[in-house]
Structure 1
Amino acid sequence: MTDDAPELRASDADRERVAEVLRDALAEGRLDMAEFEERLDATYQARTYGELAPITKDLPVAGGGGDLAVSLSKEPAEPGSWAGRIVGGEGSSRWGVAVMSGFQRKGRWTVPRRFNSFAFWGGGEIDLREANFADREVVVNCVAIMGGMNVVVPPGVEVEVRGFGFMGGFDHREDGAPAAPGAPRVVVTGFAFWGGVGVERKATRAERRRLKEERRAARKEIGDAHQRMVEGHRDLAHGPHEKRRERHDD
């Protein structure tokens, strides 16, 4: 685990690498069941490299040494996986308008180099998780007057927020997260008056389902390992008793 940038966000792949080390340690007897469960919970709750690093610090890692390597980029981890989503062209939608109503841009669509949105007494959702991108840098311009908008980006996308709020505000929490190799850059700009523009990073439903299944499998593995330990203790406890019975029968 790198100590160079403990504040950087860890990826799902990083958490899975740590979980795999813990499973190996349980199988080898380096951790008991209580320690394994505690560290596994901490692994899936960890958000940064600094939170992941102590979990395996005292455990050997395959390949030598006790320091687990992690990626320095956000998911998706596979190199080149963004290549098919930078498609060029003009974009499939350039505007989103909500006047005392709402609008959505989500699912499979192409984000243009500049997407303009306006909300007055209304709201809008601009979801980029399954979108393609017309260029490696796109601008999402949001003007919210007594209304609100929410921009949702997938893991791996770099975000820069430049918007200005007057009696309103722009969400800067996702500013500065490192980009995955080949991922696009999203600049969120605009103006909010008595309103707000939120920016959040969320995995797709399919990715969340995959993580849920992996965690369910990990829980099942804990249960199976616990059952094997119980059966092993039972066999050890019954062994001497059975031998005494055999001698008595003879």
Structure 2
Amino acid sequence: MTSESPDMRASDAERERVAETLREAVAEGRLEMDEFEQRLDATFKARTHGELVPLVRDLPVPGGLGGPVTGAVAEREGVADWPARIGGEPTSSGAFAFWGGFSRKGRWTVGRQFTAFAMWGGGEIDLREARFAERDVVIRCFTIMGGMQVTVPPDLNVQVRGFGIMGGFGEHSKLDEEPEPHPDSPRVKVTGFALMGGVGVEWKRSRAEKRRLKEQERLRLEKPDAGDGRKELG
């Protein structure tokens, strides 16, 4: 990108890469929300590389504007990023709560087997931004007079095999459509039991993904106007 002329016209794909970099930056706390909104607005108004570069100059931009697509951009363009999230040393292999609670969320690495126990307490296991030490993972959830919530992204391959005794062990979705596992995603089995308590497995999008879809819809609605403008210029 830096070797190209700042007057070179920017493509839609390059604007999308900059927008994704900004979304990642605000999610990581690198940008405040008001600055994020200002830069995002400037991104979609930019017409040249020279206008785009200052918007991400102080942020990490893997591969530059013309580099390989990753993360949510990859998903949007049909390129799976799941292989990049498999492998590495686990950061946690278990969790315990007694008269209290525990939480595993954000960017953490799940071990081959993760065991969670809660008695008279509760726990949260969020896999939406997690990495996985191996392709096949077993998450064992045991609760006695307590509750546990496992949150998973729409494209993760998940099997639920637990049972409840005077309690519940079930799954539900907060999506408008049926979850569809990606062929390259890890295979996660959630098992265990709930005694006089509950374990829930919920398919849910992350906040970053919701923002991306909202922005994508906004762009889709604005495209007819942009197209009319180009027609008038021609």
Smaller-chain TM-score range? 0.5 to 0.7
Q: Which residue of 2 aligns with 1:168?
A: 167
1:167 deviates by: 0.7
Aligned CA RMSD, in angstroms, stands at 2.5
Query: Are 1:147 and 2:149 counterparts?
Result: no
| Cα pair distance change 1:214/1:178, threshold 3 Å | closer
Matched to 2:82, the amino acid is: W
TM-score by length of 2: 0.58
Aligned equivalents of 2:208 and 2:171: distance in 1?
26
Native 8 Å contact 1:145 1:192 kept in 2? yes
Aligned equivalents of 1:181 and 1:204: distance in 2?
20
Native 8 Å contact 1:161 1:189 kept in 2? yes
Deviations 1:168-192 (A, max 9, x none): 1111346x95421210111110110
1:220 deviates by: 5.0
Which aligned pairs between 1:59-138 and structure 2 lie closer than 5 A? Answer: 76=75, 78-89=78-89, 91-138=90-137
Aligned equivalents of 1:197 and 1:76: distance in 2?
30
Q: Which residue of 1 aligns with 2:198?
A: 196
Task: Note the residue ranges of structure 2 that are not aligned, 5 or more in a row.
Answer: 1-73, 230-234
Matched to 1:123, the amino acid is: G
SS of the equivalent of 1:172 reads: strand
Aligned equivalents of 2:221 and 2:169: distance in 1?
39
| Cα pair distance change 1:177/1:221, threshold 3 Å | closer
Native 8 Å contact 2:172 2:203 kept in 1? no
Specify the structure having the higher radius of gyration (Cα).
1
Query: Are 1:186 and 2:160 counterparts?
Result: no
TM-score by length of 1: 0.54
How many residues of Structure 1 are paired with residues of Structure 2 in the alignment?
150
SS of the equivalent of 2:92 reads: coil
Deviations 1:162-220 (A, max 9, x none): 1110011111346x954212101111101101111111112222111111122334455
Task: Note the residue ranges of structure 1 that are not aligned, 5 or more in a row.
Answer: 1-74, 229-250
Native 8 Å contact 2:154 2:180 kept in 1? no
Aligned equivalents of 1:94 and 1:157: distance in 2?
19
Query: Are 1:213 and 2:212 counterparts?
Result: no
Matched to 1:99, the amino acid is: F
